[in-house]
């Protein structure tokens, strides 16, 4: 959970190759012939969103930039307002006041105060917090603290709990009573370091992460990952990343999902803590410098277009994206079979690719090479320019690369 809290369709058809989940209220796609500038930098790409909290904000940012979104909450947040563990921790702090309190998330801090109000001990808790040294993990947590009528003593510029820990250890924690508001999962390294330094630590669990009540959307995302229908997956919390991998294992899809995430699918994490479960499985991740949703989307806007294949074909600029093609400035959605053929041709641009090889590239095409001709006709129709792909009689098809582009070394 690395943003302010370390927060934050089609099933089989999308998995087959487009990732554009037709008919789903969680997805949207750009229309044929849309200008690239109007459609946005993510036009033609499908992005999976695993967030539960603040998912609407992230989805809106992605769609505003043209992305097709496949929303699959990988977890749900369970508040602990009625939880005996939270009540016990709060009463312990009222009975024996803390010297310092570390607030890690805005939603968690607000939830703690609201729960205490519900128990009739809200003012007493605020009094204890007011007398303690309040350390806020980031600006949104500072906002929650101030909204409660309190003032933080310090907050790191990096928004990193590691910096909070370094500061506390440098100042000395021996003999101090320190309360830590958890952010949905244990912080063993943080807590143990304080205890090793001689502090008495009281953990305050305000909410917990649980698997989603309806695993259907997550299963559809996993199917799309395996089927090549997703270009990137965004993660805004470590538990969400762990939950996605756990669900893949439950369904017997661990290996193909890991292969996709280690290969063509970009894993975009809002910060380094979120990336840990993925990196533990050998998955490379990208992360913005600032652990926020906006910078995360900006990073996707840089990374995904940078991965697209760009070729000069028949006097046009052809850019192959996830489920669409940019021809000069025009966005042309391409069906899954057509995209499979186009990618096969682009692997050896300008060279003739046999019908047999193209047949092998088609998803579920069987042995009839007539399927290649049918899919090729539809591909040419989707591109709106038949001369981009040339038929080479009795041999196959080739991309009509501009003169000089097929020379050795190009």
Low-confidence ranges of the chain (pLDDT < 70): 1-39, 79-82, 184-188, 365-366, 403-410
**Contact at 8 Å (CB) between 9 and 24?**
yes
Common-topology check for domains 12-75+212-307 and 334-399: no
Q: How would you list the strands of the sheet with 177-181, edge to edge?
A: 133-136, 100-103, 177-181, 200-204
Q: Under CATH, what is the fold of the domain 12-75+212-307?
A: Rossmann fold (3.40.50)
**Contact at 8 Å (CB) between 74 and 313?**
no
CATH of range 334-399; options 1.20.120.160, 1.10.10.10, 1.50.10.10, 1.10.760.10: 1.10.10.10
Q: Are strands 389-392 and 353-354 parallel, antiparallel or unpaired?
A: unpaired
Q: What is the per-residue pLDDT across 285-321, written as a single tens digit (0 to 9) for each?
A: 999 988 789 999 999 999 999 988 899 998 899 999 9
Q: What is the per-residue pLDDT across 87-133, written as a single tens digit (0 to 9) for each?
A: 999 999 999 999 999 999 888 899 899 889 989 999 999 999 999 99
The confidence score (pLDDT) of residue 157 equals: 83
The confidence score (pLDDT) of residue 284 equals: 96
The confidence score (pLDDT) of residue 15 equals: 34
**Contact at 8 Å (CB) between 317 and 36?**
no
Round to whole Å and give the CA distance between 316 and 297.
29
H-assigned helices in 206-354: 216-227, 238-250, 254-262, 272-279, 293-307, 336-347
The confidence score (pLDDT) of residue 30 equals: 34
**CATH number 3.40.50.10090 given to 79-208:** yes
The confidence score (pLDDT) of residue 125 equals: 97
The confidence score (pLDDT) of residue 233 equals: 98
Mean pLDDT of the chain: 84
The confidence score (pLDDT) of residue 108 equals: 86
Sequence spans of domains, the chain: 12-75+212-307, 79-208, 334-399
Residues constituting the chain: 410
The confidence score (pLDDT) of residue 153 equals: 96
Residue 324 phi, psi (nearest 5): -155, 170
- The tokens for 399 are 């991309």
**Contact at 8 Å (CB) between 61 and 226?**
no
The confidence score (pLDDT) of residue 13 equals: 33
Beta bridge partners of 234: 49, 268
The confidence score (pLDDT) of residue 39 equals: 64
């Amino acid at each position: 959970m690395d943003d302010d809290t370390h927060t934050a369709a089609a099933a089989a058809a999308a998995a087959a190759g487009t990732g554009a989940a037709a008919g789903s209220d969680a997805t949207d796609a750009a229309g044929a012939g849309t200008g690239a500038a109007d459609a946005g930098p993510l036009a033609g790409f499908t992005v999976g969103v695993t967030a539960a909290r603040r998912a609407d904000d992230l989805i809106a940012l992605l769609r505003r930039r043209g992305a097709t979104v496949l929303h699959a909450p990988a977890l749900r947040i369970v508040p602990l307002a009625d939880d005996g563990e939270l009540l016990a921790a709060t009463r312990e702090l009222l009975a024996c006041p803390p010297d310092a309190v570390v607030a890690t998330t805005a939603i968690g801090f607000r939830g703690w105060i609201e729960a205490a109000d519900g128990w009739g001990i809200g003012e007493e808790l605020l009094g204890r917090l007011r007398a303690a040294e309040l350390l806020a993990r980031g600006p949104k947590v500072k906002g929650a603290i101030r909204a409660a009528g309190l003032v933080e003593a310090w907050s790191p510029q990096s928004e990193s709990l590691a910096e909070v820990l370094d500061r506390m250890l440098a100042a000395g924690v021996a003999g101090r009573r320190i309360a830590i508001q958890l952010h949905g999962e244990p912080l063993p390294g943080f807590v143990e370091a304080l205890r090793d330094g001689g502090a008495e630590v009281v953990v305050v669990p305000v909410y917990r992460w649980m698997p989603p009540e309806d695993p259907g959307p997550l299963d559809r995302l996993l199917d799309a990952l395996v089927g090549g229908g997703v270009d990137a997956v965004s993660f805004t919390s470590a538990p969400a990343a762990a939950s996605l991998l756990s669900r893949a294992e439950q369904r017997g899809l661990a290996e193909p999902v890991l292969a996709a995430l280690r290969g063509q699918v970009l894993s975009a994490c809002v910060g380094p803590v979120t990336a840990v479960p993925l990196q533990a499985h050998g998955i490379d991740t990208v992360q913005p410098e600032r652990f926020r949703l906006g910078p995360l989307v900006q990073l996707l806007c840089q990374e995904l277009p940078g991965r697209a294949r760009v070729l000069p074909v028949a006097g046009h600029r052809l850019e192959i994206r996830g489920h669409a093609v940019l021809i000069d400035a025009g966005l042309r959605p391409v069906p899954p079979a057509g995209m499979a053929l186009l990618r096969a041709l682009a692997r050896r641009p300008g060279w003739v690719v046999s019908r047999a090889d193209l047949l092998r590239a088609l998803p579920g095409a069987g042995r009839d090479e007539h399927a290649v001709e049918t899919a090729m006709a539809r591909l040419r129709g989707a591109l709106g320019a038949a001369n981009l792909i040339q038929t080479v009689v009795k041999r196959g098809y080739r991309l009509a690369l501009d003169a000089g582009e097929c020379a050795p070394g190009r």
